[in-house]
C-alpha cells in the first residue's frame, strides 16, 4: 500500500460534523449513515489518491467498480474519529458492487471489515 498525503480537509460539512463527534458506536453509525455530503468527501479523496483504491491501488472506474469511503480506524472502535478526515480513505467496491460479487472475491476495505491493527 502506498502512502497517502492528505491535501484537503474533506470540506466544510465534514469539518463541522467533526466538531461534535459521536461518542458511541451506535451514534457513529447513525450519524455517518445520515451524513449527506459523502460525494464532496469522495471527490476530495479521489483527488488526493489519484483515483486509486487505498488498499488495492486499482482504479475502480477502469474496472467498472464503484467506491466507498472507508474509515481506517473503524467507527465501532473509535466513534470520535467518524468525521476525522485523516481517518478516511477511498476504497474500491460500492454497496451495489457487493450485491453482484461473490463474497470470496471481496477485497479492500470491505474485506478487512472492522479489523484494525494500530
Residue found by looking up cell 488526493 in the block: 48
Closest CA to 91 of 63, 118, 51, 64: 51
pTM over 0.85: no
Q: In this predicted structure, what is the pLDDT of residue 97?
A: 60
Cβ pair 64, 89 in contact under 8 A:
no
- pLDDT of residue 86 exceeding 80, the answer is yes
Output phi, psi for 9, to 5 deg.
-130, 5
Q: Grid coordinates standing for 99?
A: 450485491
Q: In this predicted structure, what is the pLDDT of residue 32?
A: 98
- pLDDT of residue 6 exceeding 70, the answer is yes
User: Which sequence spans correspond to the domains of the chain?
Assistant: 12-112
- What pLDDT, in 10s, does the model give residues 41-82? 999 999 999 999 988 888 988 878 889 999 999 999 999 999
- What pLDDT, in 10s, does the model give residues 12-41? 999 999 999 999 999 999 999 999 999 999
Amino acid at each position: 500500500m502506498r502512502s497517502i498525503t492528505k491535501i484537503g480537509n474533506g470540506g466544510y460539512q465534514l469539518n463541522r460534523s467533526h466538531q461534535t463527534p459521536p461518542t458511541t458506536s451506535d451514534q457513529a453509525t447513525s450519524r455517518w449513515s445520515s451524513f449527506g455530503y459523502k460525494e464532496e468527501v469522495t471527490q476530495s479523496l479521489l483527488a488526493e489518491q489519484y483515483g486509486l483504491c487505498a488498499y488495492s491501488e486499482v482504479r475502480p472506474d477502469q474496472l467498472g467498480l464503484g467506491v466507498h469511503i472507508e474509515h481506517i480506524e473503524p467507527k465501532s472502535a473509535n466513534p470520535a474519529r467518524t468525521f476525522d478526515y485523516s481517518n478516511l480513505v477511498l476504497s474500491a467496491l460500492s454497496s451495489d458492487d457487493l450485491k453482484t460479487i461473490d463474497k470470496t472475491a471481496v477485497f479492500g476495505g470491505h474485506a478487512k471489515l472492522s479489523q484494525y491493527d494500530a
